[in-house]
Structure 1
Amino acid sequence: MHFETIAIHDGQSPDPKTGSVSVPIFQTSTFGRPSLEERNDYFYSRIGNPTRTALESTLALLENGKHGVAFASGVAAMMAAVQVLKPGDHVVSGMDVYGGSYRIFEQLLRPWGVETTYAANEAVESFAECIRPETRLIWIESPSNPLLQLTNIRALSNLARERGIILAVDNTFASPYFQRPLDLGAHIVVHSTTKYLGGHSDVIGGAVVTSDDELHETIRNYQGAAGAVPGPWDCWLVLRGLKTLKIRMEEHQKSALHLARALEAHPAVSRVIYPGLPSHPQHELAKSQMSGFGGMVTIALKGGLPATSKLLNSLKLFVIADSLGGVESLVASPARMTFGPLSQEERDRRACTDDLVRLSVGLENAEDLEQDLLQALATI
């Protein structure tokens, strides 16, 4: 079946008892047992809940994977994925990664005795140079946050498999509609379902998808033991979002490309970063491993932080916010928001400079969004 059909039907059949077309919200903490000697498939909602099962099944199918595991947030999903590590192991991560991922590597894993080395996202050779005998995991985002750098997932997966290393891909920016890392050879896919999968800025969640039975067992055991699970209402909200994912991603992309082209010609903008533009240095790679370019656009302004502040404070439709992927258009200064807790030296090392502005292009009319950006740019 096609993507949109799977998103609406698979794992979400009408309830066998009531005929409910929408998956019921099983708002219960525990389930009764038939007898002391027997138990049903569900007995305690931390371990399993029918609403969560429906979400996990659908997520796995959309990523063309075998197993889906849902979590209470994107960083909880990442913590589950890194349970494949033990003290003494080594991680190679892309340099340009979400601030929450960086904090996990540096503030949580490093004290456990797991060291992380950072490679250039766009260069597979850089990852190869960082690999050590004790390297157990390679972690990437493609496209990355906030610089929208791409990694050649096929090439990196071949390198990882040759070296016996697990490759995990954060696929939040692309979504499974535009990119399927498992099909490109990755072992693990991670999502913040808060973003495009939920799509309405009303739920926090995360997910891990894999086709590897052993990895799934490790991640599923962690889910039950650590307990960072989404409630049934959260699962239902993400399920509802998935039903319109195709339509939303197409519109996000259409408007993002429109704005990227318009901003490229603006005299106050020094650079536009969007994989759908021929000017993006990895435009051809994007076309080869993605079926679309997504709804995220990053721009660099002439004038540094004063210009960034002026722009953000002058926008009317774009909301200054720390998230992305919703129906509403959002805007952020990565250097002062997501990466704000990092030192200036560390931000500079990651090329997360004060002139950067990250746009999460929503579902408003593209011409209205363009006019909002133009009037704000005119104030600089």
Structure 2
Amino acid sequence: MANDQDAASSYRPATVAVTVGRPPSTPDAPMNVPVTFASTYVAGGDVEYGRFGNPTWAAFEEALGALEGGRCLSFASGLAAVATVLDLVGTDQVVVAARHSYNGTIMQLADLESRGRLKARLVDLTNLDEVIAACEGAALVWLESPTNPALEVADIPAIREAAHAAGAYLVVDNTFATPVLQRPLELDVDIVVHSATKYIAGHSDVLMGAVLTRDEELYRVLKGRRDLIGAVPGPMEAWLALRGLRTLHLRVERAQANAQELVRRLSAHPAISEVRYPGFGGIISIVVAEGALAADLLTHKTSLWINATSLGGVESTFERRRRWKSEPATIPEGLVRMSVGIEDVEDLWDDLERCLDDLH
């Protein structure tokens, strides 16, 4: 590729997102890496077989790795990435995780615990003493910051100190913040995880995950697990994710600006009893004062906001999270998670206000 991480180290994130992972800049060279559809390679090189590597993945991994400041491995989905990291934990070892982590992560932990693979300790991320105490004897500590959908923010340095003192790996799911707003590897976190389906790809058309680390031995172990299990992305998905990554900084900036204005207005509306927002990013959680039925009505009455379970796309989506039976009971029945897109904020507010006024 034309730019490696050393060359990109002098660039700011917006420039890295645009420039890294492109072909060499030579006359008549394409500006973009082509999609390489290949399951088999001529023997004698570093790849050999389609489960071990692909030039299109490599370009995506180079670009996201440069943004996060580590080495990147791409996966077939965010949950494939989660599963591979949890596979680092030995039988009967302890995993500490925020109780309001992504539902798929919590379900994986519950499944592994039910089969005797590991022991899960779910903690209240807002209680730092509880989190630090739970790190004792743990093999891995799993954080989201902000959490999904409660939007709690972790004290990463303090938890890192406790996790490392216990000899545990510290993992941060950085899907919500993205490397535009937060770079956990710079805080001496061991592993960063992304659902690249969300903000990284950014257009609601890709399923992909990613894992990043600065530890070369961890990288080799994780790559070995990916190669063996085969949880690899398709080349077309990797190409789409890389194309989406090129505008990550612009999309995050616009979504964040929209979210901050909506938070100001939502906080003053009588139909809303609580607004949860960590101060950055494009995700807001609101609690509708009249409870679950009113929250469901809100998500079905809008014309611009889309009732959908995913997030991080250019379009604004929202959903009542407790409609999922597996969502923790500590999430309010009337909580609606809102993924703010890049539309005009006045149109987003007009659509919300009309429906909220009907509820009040």
- With the length of structure 2 as denominator, give the TM-score of the two structures: 0.94
Does residue 125 (structure 1) correspond to residue 129 (structure 2)? The answer is: yes
Distance 1:230 1:18 in 2: 29
Q: Report the equivalent of 1:265.
A: 268
Aligned ranges 1:205-284 → 2 under 5 Å:
205-276=208-279
Does residue 84 (structure 1) correspond to residue 88 (structure 2)? The answer is: yes
Does residue 364 (structure 1) correspond to residue 343 (structure 2)? The answer is: yes
Three-state SS of the structure 1 residue aligned to 2:112 is helix
Distance 1:219 1:247 in 2: 31
Unaligned runs of 5+ in 1: 34-38, 277-292
Q: Report the equivalent of 1:8.
A: 18
Three-state SS of the structure 2 residue aligned to 1:297 is strand
Distance 1:18 1:72 in 2: 33
Three-state SS of the structure 1 residue aligned to 2:170 is strand
Distance 2:229 2:290 in 1: 46
Q: 2:316 aligns with which of 306, 329, 340?
A: 329
Distance 2:203 2:339 in 1: 13
Aligned ranges 1:59-70 → 2 under 5 Å:
59-65=64-70, 67-70=71-74
Residue identity (%)? 40
Cα root mean square deviation, aligned: 1.4
| Alpha carbons 2:100, 2:328 under 8 Å: kept | no
| Alpha carbons 1:153, 1:185 under 8 Å: kept | no
Question: What is the number of equivalent residue pairs in this alignment?
Answer: 349
Three-state SS of the structure 2 residue aligned to 1:91 is strand
Q: Report the equivalent of 2:5.
A: none
Query: Letter of the aligned partner of 1:13 in structure 2?
Result: P
CA displacement at 1:28 relative to structure 2: 1.2
Distance 2:113 2:46 in 1: 35
Does residue 47 (structure 1) correspond to residue 34 (structure 2)? The answer is: no
Unaligned runs of 5+ in 2: 1-10
Distance 1:45 1:301 in 2: 49
For each residue in 1:46-86, what CA deviation from the matched residue of structure 2 results, as whole angstroms up to 9, or x when unmatched?
11101111111111111011x11000000000111112111
CA displacement at 1:108 relative to structure 2: 2.9
Query: Letter of the aligned partner of 1:60 in structure 2?
Result: G
Residues 15 and 238 (structure 1 numbering): CA distance in 2 closer, same or farther, change over 3 Å? farther
Does residue 148 (structure 1) correspond to residue 127 (structure 2)? The answer is: no
CA displacement at 1:206 relative to structure 2: 0.2
Three-state SS of the structure 1 residue aligned to 2:322 is coil
CA displacement at 1:15 relative to structure 2: 7.5
- With the length of structure 1 as denominator, give the TM-score of the two structures: 0.89
Distance 1:14 1:326 in 2: 30
| Alpha carbons 1:83, 1:218 under 8 Å: kept | no
Q: Report the equivalent of 1:36.
A: none
For each residue in 1:152-190, what CA deviation from the matched residue of structure 2 results, as whole angstroms up to 9, or x when unmatched?
111111111222111000000000100011111210000
